[in-house]
Structure 1
Amino acid sequence: MPTGSSGGAAVDEVPLIGHLTGFVDELRARGIVVGPSSLIDAAQAMEVLDLLDRRSLREGLAATLISDQMHRRVFDVVFDLWFPLGTGARTAVTALPRTPDGEIDIDEVREMAATMLADDEAAADGRLDALIALIVDQLGRYESTRGEAFSAYQALSQVNPQTLIAKIAAAMAGGDTDDGGLGDRPGTEPLYRRAARARAADLRAAIEAETQRRMAGAKGRERVADYAVPLLPEDINFLTAGASELAEIRRTIEPLARLLAAKLEIRRRRAHRGAVDVRQTLRASMSTGGVPIELSHRKPRPGRPELTIICDVSGSVAGFSQFTLRLVYALRQQFSKVRVFAFVDTVDEVTDYFDRGADDEDFGASMHRMITTAKISTRDGHSDYGNMLVGFVDEYGDSLTHRGALLILGDARTNYHDPRLGALRELTDRARHAYWLNPEARRNWGTGDSAATEYAEIIEMFECRNATQLGRAIADLLPV
């Protein structure tokens, strides 16, 4: 990356600006909002930062270009692709230790990694980076049908950073680096264990970053970016998210709820101006010869609507229902009453399970208690939307009023049971507003055992595969 001198600034300035602009365009393509003023701030920051100090450059650009720390992971991966340490293999004067028969000594490699991770000077003088480069080059290299390639999974499966925690902790405590971590052995203190876990995670991230750098140099950063750059948390698919991704999605709920609460309050204030008072308007127009110059409005009578939620909690759909319930409960102050009903094949009211818990841990416990104790599965344990709809009409139909809104959460997959369309039609007739949020892609509606297209003819159905779509639906659909 050109730094330029006072004499060469004019030569290097334009390529550097173009590179920064390309980097910002890539962030925008990934969903991170970067305004023109932020781009100008980043360019000004680069004027004073040491461009050879990647850590300072990374933090400087992050401070100016991203406003949501939940986007930091995506930013870091894109940064590594656009501002790499270099191209090609790093030069090294050492090689990985080998056994007498010439094979790489994995046990010795792990010992070296644990010792260097525990030594702050190893990171400062570049020895740790050199070791990581060797690990990727010699343990992660393989021949693909398109030539030489590198695999972070292949390298990590042999080094296995998780198994190094005890060794790192012992080395940090000043003891030996034998396996252990039990009893009175060095490094058993929680402080050392926490630090060792963090450094093992850093090793994993560093190996992944080095692998991406080598692959970007060999295949081009555009091709690597297609699979290496993760989705933003709010764009992760509810139905395919793993455990770590689900945790990221959960962290988006609270800020999303604050934003939506503000939007709903603004809509409520604007909508509650009051209807035109014809009598008062005509009376006031007498002063202008009967021409109603100014309209008079009746005194507004604001009220918070009621909300009834029916959610499918079977299988993978339970994750989508849980996130939606978290979001709605974070917004419950916007409604006069929130009633929650859950089902697998039988519907049951579960409002009381959630009224007590507000924070993340309590909400998760409430979900578990509800799924294990509520009467939501009394038949074969498979989703049966038809039986749920009929049961809701019979037992809870009167809970729907002209002041309330009905929100149904689920994928509409009936396991080939009767969808009971008449029962759904009766519910939509009773509620003032009725919407269905479906976590499946619209292209899959009506395929297999999905009755989504049939239900969509009766109730407005919306695709909600991620937090972005969910937030948009809640903001646009819920009454004020």
Structure 2
Amino acid sequence: MLDLMSGFVVELRNAGLPVSLTENLDAMEAVKHIPIEDRDAFKYALATTLVKNEQHWKAFETVFEVYFSLRGPEYNVLDEDGEIDEDSLEEWMSQQMRGMGGQGSSEDMSPEEIAEMLFRALMNADEAMMAAMARAAVTQFAGMEPGRPVGGTYYLYRTLRNLDLDGMLDRLMEQAQERSEEDMTSLQERLEREEFENRIEDLKKEIEAEIRRRLVADRGVEAMAKTLRKPLPEDVDFMHASREEMANIRKAIQPLTRKLAARLARKRKHKRRGPLDFRATVRQSLSYGGVPAEPRFRNPRPNKPE
């Protein structure tokens, strides 16, 4: 555990987060007072002691998901021969397929059967079934091979392309219309669509987490952390920044712009001279041939108290 925490802190520093020795010791002390088996409590205890800026949260979360990905017998990815171990997944899929009247094997499942099970999970907001279906979809569609030097984005693209989540959203909306006793209003329809879109986003996150977990098991923690490392907003070269990075930069500098605007307004309020008097400046410039060499300003007028 100590070696894992040390590597975690080193990777945070490599990612650009300013983690001091004192904060490292505080994090080690904080984890003594929480249940280690509670992953969320463990995550936020580390974040409380190691993250000091909101802009650093995403980098922290990425490193945490790599170093403390779910592990254990039920999350094994590779067996002794280096192949994907799907025994527990196979048992679950067999039960689901028997309930649907299928053949009871995940390897024999067609894309239509996977889509049907995924539709049921999204329609009923079954988080456990969605997590299991994410594992099944990655197994069926990602085409992951141990030792293959391919990034996780490629596997994610292959999986989502085969799932056709846009068509799934339309199907969910049609089912919601059929379940409704009366015709849904535009507001109800929008709320239903937003709810289904949120569930689909959760499914995408589950698939991405599953791909990342398998890559960590295959390549190791340090290699995956280095691959997923991204520069912080203050370290991005804005000449080559992507749209997402530019949005993060704007969000990061927004407090600075407000502070500068308030400072300029305060400076204008307390300065000795008022705004430029254009008419007086033009009259004064006639003696210089029309060149405004000496600008004139109005006398400041303090605001009247309310």
TM-score higher than 0.5 here?
Answer: yes
Distance 1:141 1:186 in 2: 41
Q: CA deviation at 1:159?
A: 1.9
Instruction: Indicate conservation of the 8 Å contact 2:27/2:50, yes or no.
Output: yes
Counterpart secondary structure, 1:205 = helix
Counterpart for residue 452 of structure 1:
none
Distance 2:267 2:144 in 1: 58
Q: Superposed, which structure 2 residues align to 1:142-291 within 5 Å? A: 142-143=144-145, 146=148, 151-168=155-172, 184=184, 189-257=189-257
TM-score by length of 2: 0.65
Change (3 A) 1:69 1:139: same
Q: CA deviation at 1:332?
A: 5.6
1:80 aligned to 2:65? yes
Question: What CA RMSD, in Å, does the superposition of the two structures yield over aligned residues?
Answer: 3.8
Counterpart for residue 19 of structure 1:
4
Distance 2:149 2:235 in 1: 33
Q: Which has the higher strand share?
A: 1
Query: Which of these residues, 109, 112, 115, is aligned with residue 114 of structure 2?
Result: 109
Farther off after superposition, 186-195 or 246-255 = 186-195
Instruction: Indicate conservation of the 8 Å contact 1:132/1:207, yes or no.
Output: yes
Distance 2:171 2:235 in 1: 38
Instruction: Indicate conservation of the 8 Å contact 2:119/2:172, yes or no.
Output: yes
Distance 2:157 2:64 in 1: 21
Q: What is the letter of the counterpart of residue 116 of structure 1? A: A
Change (3 A) 1:233 1:111: farther
Instruction: Indicate conservation of the 8 Å contact 1:143/1:149, yes or no.
Output: no
Query: Which of these residues, 51, 63, 70, is aligned with residue 36 of structure 2?
Result: 51
How many pairs align? Answer: 245
Distance 2:174 2:186 in 1: 5
Distance 2:166 2:56 in 1: 26
Distance 1:159 1:191 in 2: 23
Q: CA deviation at 1:31?
A: 0.5
Change (3 A) 1:132 1:105: same
Distance 2:161 2:42 in 1: 31
User: Any idea what the Cα deviations from partners look like across 1:340-359, whole Å, max 9, x if unmatched?
Assistant: xxxxxxxxxxxxxxxxxxxx
Distance 2:10 2:147 in 1: 32
Q: Superposed, which structure 2 residues align to 1:323-334 within 5 Å? A: none
Structure 1 stretches of 5 or more lacking a match? 1-15, 178-182, 262-328, 337-397, 400-480
Higher relative contact order (CA 8 A, sep 6+): 2
Q: Which has the higher helix share?
A: 2
Q: What is the letter of the counterpart of residue 106 of structure 1? A: P
Q: CA deviation at 1:331?
A: 7.3
Distance 2:118 2:241 in 1: 31
Instruction: Indicate conservation of the 8 Å contact 2:59/2:230, yes or no.
Output: yes
Q: CA deviation at 1:71?
A: 1.9
Counterpart secondary structure, 2:2 = helix
Structure 2 stretches of 5 or more lacking a match? 78-84, 269-290, 293-306
Q: Superposed, which structure 2 residues align to 1:59-98 within 5 Å? A: 59-86=44-71, 87-88=76-77, 89=85, 91-92=88-89, 93-95=91-93
Change (3 A) 1:244 1:142: same
Instruction: Indicate conservation of the 8 Å contact 2:173/2:192, yes or no.
Output: yes
Query: Which of these residues, 139, 159, 173, is aligned with residue 141 of structure 2?
Result: 139
Counterpart for residue 37 of structure 1:
22
User: Any idea what the Cα deviations from partners look like across 1:282-341, whole Å, max 9, x if unmatched?
Assistant: xxxxxxxxxxxxxxxxxxxxxxxxxxxxxxxxxxxxxxxxxxxxxxx78765988xxxxx
Q: CA deviation at 1:204?
A: 1.5
